[in-house]
Amino acid sequence: MRASVLLALLTVAPVRAEDASVYRIDLAWDIPVSAVAAAGTFVPFALTDSLIHPHCPCPESEVPAFDRWAIGFASDTADSVSTITAVLAVAGPAALDLADVGASKPFLEDTVVFAETLLVNGAVTNLAKYTVQRPIPRVYSGLTNAPADYRSFYSGHTSATFAALTAGSMTWTLRHGGTWWPWVVTVVVGVSVGLERVYAGRHFPSDVLVGAAAGTLVGLGVPWLHSRARLGPGTVGIAPANGGALLVWGGRF
């Protein structure tokens, strides 16, 4: 696996400077969106004790059958490994991008899109966590009952991993064309983090599944909205239609 990825990296043709830029940045939108998303990502953590009020002990019967098997897991090793892996998943795409295009304007554009992806994903994740306030599996095992343990739905580690790696895969694909290895890495690493969160007793299976889906959607959506290839060069004009007129766009997707 590692040899295949390394071979794929070595066989990619260098990107010409004039072709390296794959994103359009509009600070009039990106700054306020990032600022609001940053508030949604970081502020709730400081208010956890005020926003969440523990209400357990709770019966295991309230947990759906497809999630109940996760009660009893409490591996601190899996907890630590999942955190380290998630951090590396966030740092990895940025490091690869820097190696790919160097300290350049395209790298700055990529960084803005990547950071915005992570902030939007964090804000959406916290909205779910602090609204649902689902106890983690360890609460049902009687191991803990702090306010911070009522943020099981959905998995932030899993969503952040999928969002970061998906955004990195989007950037690589937009710049170098279709290739398989970034997407395989995204799935393998993302799934591993999700499984580790379950075995750590920090999340139920449904938490990591929703986290994976949500992170993937954000990781696809934010880069796509910034992508120069989304619409490409085109023109806007008026075309006749059934006795009236339509505003039409002509160009390429």
Q: What is the pLDDT of residue 8?
A: 44
In a domain? residue 85: yes
Task: Give me the phi and psi of 237, to 5 degrees please.
Answer: -155, -175
Report which of 90, 97, 129, 88 is spatially closest to residue 214, judged by C-alpha positions.
Answer: 129
Query: What's the pLDDT at 86?
Result: 98
Asked whether residue 136 is assigned to any structural domain, the reply reads yes
pLDDT at 188: 98
Residue 3, domain member (yes or no):
no
The boundaries of the domain holding residue 97 are 22-56+65-251
Residue 98 domain-assigned (yes or no): yes
Residue 6 lies in a domain: no
Q: What is the pLDDT of residue 240?
A: 61
Neighbours of 23 (CB within 10 A): 24
Q: Look up the pTM and report it.
A: 0.84
Distance CA 44, CA 117 (A): 18
Does residue 188 lie in a domain region? yes
Residue pair 163/186 in contact (Cβ under 8 Å)? The answer is: no
Residue 14 lies in a domain: no
Could you tell me the mean pLDDT of each successive run of 10 residues in the chain, 253 residues long? 44 52 94 97 96 94 96 97 98 96 96 98 98 97 95 98 98 91 97 98 98 98 91 46 52 41
Residue 9 is assigned to a structural domain of this protein: no
- In angstroms, the Cα distances linking 158 to 93, 99, 200 are 16, 26, 13
Rounded Cα distance between 146 and 94, Å, is 34
Q: What are phi and psi of 153, to 5 degrees?
A: -105, 115
Counting the structural domains of the chain, the total is 1
